[in-house]
A = this chain, B = another copy of it.
Amino acid sequence: MKNSSLSADRKEAREFQTSSSGLFFKVKKVLYEKKSPFQKIEIIENDFYGRVLFLDGLVQTTERDEFFYHEMLVHPALAIHPRPEKVLIIGGGDGGALREVLKHPVRKAWLVEIDQDVIRACERYFPWLDRALSDRRAELAVADGFDFIQKTTEKFEVIIVDSSDPVGPSAILHAREFYRKLKKILKPDGLIAAQAGSQLLHLREHSQKAAFLRPMFKFARFYSAPVPTYPVGTWCYTLLSDRIDPLAVKKLRLPSGLKYFNAEVFRASFAQPVFFEQALREKG
């Protein structure tokens, strides 16, 4: 897919969501631009969405709607685990997932981001990252997520995968081998929550993922919720555990200060439209 971002006259940024359609943003100001060893990083200012972070032309975070994504990625797992002490976040250099994790009474949270330049840019332009990293419970590791999970000697109650999309350079973070390794560093009663891609655009990837996750975890469920600036608007997540069935949990532990997530939204997020259920039933 041809991604994009700043136009030649720098007055507009665009995200190609398919090869023939996408979102455009009028640019009030270009705040940051760098080609890091891993990707092209751009942050612009837009009247409606505020600051917008693009990685290789794809919107990762906007000030206006990031809470849709970060709350739905983090709270389902954290709100149903009885005692989440150690939490691992893979990816998520913008700090939104870490900020949400720290709303829970966890003992320690690791943020493992591969790109030091993403951290630097976001510390400057998304102030919540700096605040989250200042929390004494937070630990930043600038490292490859795959390497980190092979080397760590810790075990975690909750692992959050805040990676890029299932197509492209992050495909490895959506593959069977990655989940097999994640499972080894997950406590027996642990939960994994992972962003899984666009509901409509990545149907084949969801179907393949369901095919290998369902034999691997006793409970392997997809849930979805909107993210206005993510491709085609509805985003999917997987929630994985051998002990905790999200659909059987009676009482959620909700921290204060939430703008999106509540118990009704949690239960609703497991309902899937007909076309999605059909895709998941097909062999991956």
Residues of A within 8 A of B (CB): 14, 18-26, 28, 46-49, 65, 68, 199-200, 226-228, 232-234, 258-262, 264-265, 267-275, 277
Q: Which of B14, B49, B199, B269 contacts A268 (CB 8 A)?
A: B269
Nearest residue, chain B, Cβ from A276: B260
**Contact partners of A199 in chain B: CB under 8 A:** 226
* CB neighbours of A268 from chain B (8 A): 267-271
- The contact sample of 17 A-B pairs, CB cut-off 8 A, is A18-B48, A20-B47, A20-B48, A21-B24, A22-B24, A23-B23, A24-B24, A65-B200, A68-B273, A199-B226, A226-B233, A227-B233, A228-B232, A261-B273, A264-B270, A267-B268, A268-B270
- A55 → chain B closest CB, angstroms: 19
Cα of A273 to Cα of B260 in the assembled complex, Å: 5
User: Which B-chain residue is minimally distant from A262 (CB atoms)?
Assistant: B274
Chain B, Cβ-Cβ closest to A224: B226
What CA separation (Å) do A58 and B261 show in the bound complex? Answer: 30
Interface centre among A23, A228, A258, A264 (most CB of B within 10 A): A228
Whether B18 and A24, one on each chain, are in contact in the complex, defined by CB atoms closer than 8 angstroms, is no
**A21 in complex: contacting residue of B25, B234, B275, CB < 8 Å:** B25
Determine chain A's interface SS by DSSP, over half rule: loop
- Point out the residues of chain B lying under 8 angstroms from A28, CB to CB: 20
What chain B residues lie within 8 Å of A262 (beta carbons)? 271, 273-274, 277
Contact partner of A46 (CB less than 8 A), chosen from B21, B24, B25, B274, is: B21
CB neighbours (8 Å) of A14 from chain B are 24
Min distance, Cβ A282 to any Cβ of chain B, angstroms: 15
**B19 engages A48 (CB within 8 Å):** yes
18 more A-B residue pairs beyond the given contacts A233-B234, A260-B274, A260-B275, with a C-beta to C-beta distance below 8 A: A20-B46, A20-B48, A21-B24, A21-B46, A22-B23, A65-B200, A68-B273, A200-B228, A226-B233, A226-B234, A228-B232, A259-B273, A260-B273, A264-B272, A265-B271, A268-B268, A268-B269, A268-B271
Q: Which residues on B sit within 8 Å (CB–CB) of A24?
A: 14, 21-24
In the bound complex, what is the Cα–Cα distance between A103 and B47 (angstroms)?
Answer: 43
Q: Does A23 lie within 8 Å of B25, measured CB to CB?
A: no
A74 shortest CB reach to chain B, Å: 15
State A272–B263 Cα separation when bound (angstroms).
Answer: 10
**A284 → chain B, closest Cβ, in Å?**
21
